[in-house]
Amino acid sequence: MLEKMKQTAAFIAAETGDFRPEVGIILGTGLGDFAERIEVSASIDYKDIPNFPVSTVEGHRGRLIFGMLEGRRVVAMQGRFHYYEGYTMQQVTFPVRVLKLLGIRYLFVSNASGGVNTSFSVGDLMVITDHINLMPNPLIGPNLAELGPRFPDMHNCYDRELIARATRIAEERNIKLQYGVYVGGTGPTFETQAEYRYFKAIGGDAAGMSTVPEVIVARHMSIPVFGVSVITNCGLSDEIGDHEDVQRQGAKAGRKMAELFMEMIRTL
């Protein structure tokens, strides 16, 4: 697996003129338009990258975008991979491994999620302070000792300094933030009412089908992570959600998320 990662990183480096990104950004459902804010120097479709999975979910464009954002070299994943698509956890997290080999020093992750905390409203931005993993752990199997330890600590999954920076920026720019614990499940079904009550009982504030595997792998490689969930539906309400509505709500709230991400990246 490590050799495949190195092969993929070498291919991307050759395609981008050895562009060395400082920040990696993973854009969730309905949030892909953020990439339009990047001064693009190179773009590669996932299907053209050796060993890369291909995104099969509507709302995930499926390409890597390289360029400048607020004076920083960034790479954005316009679309991610999910366990429910039939990929292994190693395939789901493969791109994060490759981004590390390309040089990223920070990882920003975003997702669309269902609100568990009843004080949340549709369109809120929730800064992820911690997570609960209900998926297979991507580190199961032989350890890649060259990239990280066998038993990585998860105490500071979501970097406290980056969370504090986000809080300051939000106060200055009058951006409302919520804070909470993200519950990562397998999907692809939206959760039942009983499952949402369970998530609330075990300490969750929002729930979704992504992000957690990527963060585990990033922390395995000692990459500081900042994460935001866009609350696109309230799971404990009687409203029936669908993927199209998630995309619409994600696109609306994505403008606030973009403002927050851009200022954070500018001040890193």
- Round the average pLDDT of the chain to a whole number and report it: 91
More confident residue, 133 or 122: 133
Helix 212-220 to helix 89-102 angle, to the nearest 10 degrees? 50
What pLDDT shows up at residue 232?
86
Domains of the chain, by residue range, sit at 2-266
- pLDDT at residue 178 greater than cutoff 90: yes
SS3 state at 76: strand
Residue 35 or 195, more confident: 195
Residue with more model confidence, 214 or 246: 214
pLDDT of residue 33: 75
Kindly state the percentage of the chain with pLDDT values over 90: 78
Nearest CA among 246, 244, 243 for reference residue 233:
246
Averaged pLDDT for residues 16-45? 88
Domain with residues 2-266, CATH architecture: 3-Layer(aba) Sandwich (3.40)
Confidence (pLDDT) at 36:
86
Give 17's DSSP letter. Answer: T
The set of residues, in sequence order, having a beta carbon less than 8 Å from that of 137 and lying 6+ positions away, is 89, 213, 216
What does the pLDDT read at residue 185? Answer: 97
Backbone CA torsion sign across 62, 69, 175, 117: positive
Q: What's the pLDDT at 32?
A: 64
According to the model, what pLDDT value does residue 234 have? Answer: 81
Q: How confident is the model at residue 252 (pLDDT cuts 50, 70, 90)?
A: low
Question: Is 201 a residue whose pLDDT tops 70?
Answer: yes
DSSP symbol at 176: -
How many residues are present in the chain?
268
Question: 61 falls in which pLDDT band (50, 70, 90)?
Answer: confident
Q: What is the pTM of this model?
A: 0.93
Q: If you ran DSSP here, which 8-state letter would residue 160 be given? A: H
Give residue 202's pLDDT: 98
Task: Dump pLDDT digits (tens) for 140-159.
Answer: 999 999 999 999 999 999 99
The pair of three-digit structure tokens given for residue 181, joined into one six-digit string: 């614990």
Output the pLDDT for position 247: 61
